[in-house]
Structure 1
């Protein structure tokens, strides 16, 4: 079974929109190592794919310092989620066929390497809801952006998560890795008051 992971740059106030406007001052070697991607398959929403396809093939062809990173993206199998029929010029690109949850479930149950997502917030939300996301990597930046789309929309149901690992970068960015978990039991003040400090004067 394949493991499905997603990575998102997120501000302290939960914004995930347009990270290119606020993320780069916090980019360093620690983050570069953390986002290095060895996944066999990259899963994209159409807008995120268009952004990647509009930049990385040219960077690979230019042969600059980032050409190796660009070649990694080019060599990976790329699957794009869209309700429109798409045509591709970037190599190893294809469109996901069928309903998202059914298609990703089938993909996850195949033998093979991991599936990774970068950005594509709407896809991340849907896979979290469907319990199909094995790991959610959040790179929490020490900045309050104060406007833009948040990762989680308002809804009646909560999404309980379990922290798998955490690391603080020198820039103040926190790399937090979560997985979905079972809902917690209902707990009130009477259940927790025994944990209050007992030696307070």
Structure 2
């Protein structure tokens, strides 16, 4: 399962553009469905290196909340898709990009570890292409930024399962793989 912020023109890179659309309603998604529920059910957090670097700089310093989100995200095992050397000191194990699909297939065959992905287009795109992503949540911001890394490259076929719109304009789109 993956959670991504994306613009109307399919950009997911450096999502500082989410701020004008982030409302209390979207923040409560942590309590109601996306982040908290899936984080609590996850066996593994799978991240790209850029997302990992951003999260590992913030979450270890976070105060725990009533639902235990900070404690859970800090203690959950993590695998980081990276070709860079360097410390992964936030409870993480490096995973070479070439091993991503093999590793996810292994996890699924071992009884289906519940894998959660935040951001990390370099992780989501290959999993989508290989049919290894069961659920995709897109938080769509109603703007076009013109440039940046795109979430989708080429042809992607998904089946919409839920849509929810929020007062500041952000829309949550939930998809699962489309059956041919």
Q: Normalised by the shorter chain, which TM-score bucket?
A: 0.7 to 0.9
RMSD: 2.3
Q: Which runs of 5+ in 1 are unaligned?
A: 184-201
TM-score, length of structure 1 as denominator length? 0.75
- Partners of 2:99 and 2:157 lie apart in 1 by 25
Specify the alignment match of 1:93 in structure 2: 92
Q: Which has the larger radius of gyration?
A: 1
Specify the alignment match of 1:177 in structure 2: 174
Higher helix share: 2
Number of residues paired by the alignment? 171
1:52 aligns with 2:55: yes
Cα deviations by residue, 1:38-82 (Å, 9 ceiling, x for unpaired): 2221101111111111121123xxx37699533221011111112
TM-score, length of structure 2 as denominator length? 0.83
Specify the alignment match of 2:82 in structure 1: 82
Q: Which runs of 5+ in 2 are unaligned?
A: none
Residue 7 of structure 1: how far off its partner (Å): 0.6
1:87 is paired with a residue whose SS is coil
Summarize the alignment of residues 2-151 of structure 1 with structure 2, pairs less than 5 Å apart: 5-19=1-15, 21-32=16-27, 33=29, 34-36=34-36, 37-38=39-40, 39-59=42-62, 63=63, 68-90=68-90, 92-96=91-95, 99-111=99-111, 114-151=114-151
- Partners of 2:64 and 2:87 lie apart in 1 by 27
8 Å Cα contact 2:139-2:170 kept in structure 1: yes
